[in-house]
A and B are shown apart, each in its own frame.
Chain A
Amino acid sequence: MALPQLFEFHVRPRILYGPRSVREIGFEANKLGGTRAFIVTDKMLRQVGLAQRVADGLAGSGVTLVGIFDDVPPNSEVKVVEAGAAYAREAGCDLLIALGGGSVMDTAKGMNVLLSEGGSLLDYEGAGLLTRPLKPFIAIPTTAGTGSEVTIAAVIRDEAQGLKLEFNSPFMMPDVAILDPELTLSLPPGLTAATGMDALTHAIETLVSTGTQPLSDALAIGAIKLIAANLRQAVQHGDDLEARGAMLLASNMAGIAFSNAMLGIVHAMAHPCGGRYGVPHGVANSILLPYGMAYNLPTCAPRLAEVAAALGVETRGLDDETAALAGIAAVRQLAADCGLPARLSEVGVPHEGLAQLAADSQGDAMMMTNPNPAGEEDVLALYERAF
């Protein structure tokens, strides 16, 4: 395979993995030069005691916990970020800790921009607008899917405009990501399944993206293997620490991969389902992934054959197209085994809404790196099939 002419591969956070690795947070915070730490999380995670574990990890390290902001909703909003930043500033915070899923991470990223640079969040909507490092920032994911602990982007909703705003800058990445599988043990089966399929979608879309490159490829293939071998177990036996750990790593690896190589049509189609009808991100991806793979197959059969092999499909003796089709079937089976719905009609998307979704998908940045260009009509046909 020809190598791309020019590519870059960035990975900022130092990654610490292990059951109970959250105990190392004091050491890590100290090393980053923090003295007054502030935790961003949600009410549920605080209630089940996870925020307390972070607080315990800080004890005796010389880093003081100066506040906990737990008002983060499932989809973050501008006013939440601004309230969180005001609280953290008042508390005199000099280091941020995000404990949670994608929404918490995005909130903390936005808060860090405001804490470090001041102004209003809307001033930073766009790409490449930050010019220097922000305050030290540690991310501790409690779901295994979004990979937000290693990505440069944050998506935050502006209720006033009714729009989702995108913020992109390498400076928004955390400095350290702590992957402690014990913190994901309480994740219920439905969420485990959906977030796991989000990670699988990241890995597969990365491999066929036009931004593909050898470094992200290796991580994406590794992630697919881990997900194929562990997602069912993590869903069906949530207390299996090994399976939880493998999923947390897979999510992280797929996150690094897609942050560098970008995604494609599945995400471009899943985003509007979330925006218009509140379909959870992982569920929308899981439903649409087989259709997106099939649409791209004519342009990247050899790549999808590699995906099939990584999924554990016996591909010896098969031509690329047959192997790719077997890989698509394996993705369907995995989603079904994890109890996820297979059709958009099952998750509250009305048939008359499909045309608007297809129009929305055309504005999604992820469509730019899809290997098989897709106009509004192509996308509508795919939504129809997935309905």
Chain B
Amino acid sequence: MPVFKDAEQLYDCIGGVLDYLRTDETVSVAFRKSGLVIRFKYSDPDSEITLDGSQDPITLTCGPCDRAPTVDMTMSADTAHQFWLGKVNLVAALTRGAMKAKGPIPAIMKLLPVITPAYKKYPDILREKGLDNLINV
């Protein structure tokens, strides 16, 4: 059974951690510098989130977005959930096909060290929403 019951719940949780990153100072500076527009395309449930670092302030769109992405990251919602719990090795996920990345990989890798502190934040976000049961899934 998928971790998230519907797209709404995914937007609440994964959208929540991405929104935290959007407003975090270190991350937003690095992300603005990259100028990337990253579209995350999830399956089970089908959903998408776009993080647009090409403009100030950075915008987050849950659901379809008009901005053309520079990077498309495709994965199952469960993989995204595991990623934010710090349980996914990005390189292994890319080589094993659990994630697909279309676009400049070095630009994504460069952002990784600044986003990993959010691994600590994600369980807090789940707890705040009363979804403690998802933390150990």
Contacts and interface: CB of A to CB of B under 8 A. Distances in A.
B112 A127 contact: no
A133 interface: no
Nearest to A152: B95
Interface residues of A, number: 25
B1 interface: no
A330 to B, nearest CB: 30
Contact of A368 (B97, B107, B112): B112
A364 B105 CA distance: 9
Contact of A364 (B72, B89, B97, B109): B109
B101 A128 contact: yes
Given A127-B94, A211-B92, A365 B101 contact: no
Interface of B: 71-72, 89-92, 94-97, 99-107, 109-110, 112-113
Given A211-B89, A368-B90, 7 more contacts: A125-B103, A125-B104, A126-B71, A166-B105, A166-B106, A211-B92, A362-B110
Rank and list the top 10 A-B pairs by shortest CB-CB distance, nearest first.
A363-B110, A127-B94, A128-B100, A363-B106, A126-B102, A126-B101, A127-B101, A365-B109, A128-B97, A166-B105
Interface of A: 6, 8, 123, 125-129, 152, 163-166, 168, 170, 211, 262, 362-365, 367-369, 375
26 contacts: A8-B95, A8-B96, A125-B102, A125-B103, A126-B101, A126-B102, A126-B104, A127-B99, A127-B105, A128-B94, A128-B97, A128-B100, A129-B100, A152-B95, A164-B106, A165-B104, A166-B105, A168-B94, A168-B95, A168-B105, A170-B95, A211-B89, A211-B91, A365-B105, A365-B109, A368-B109
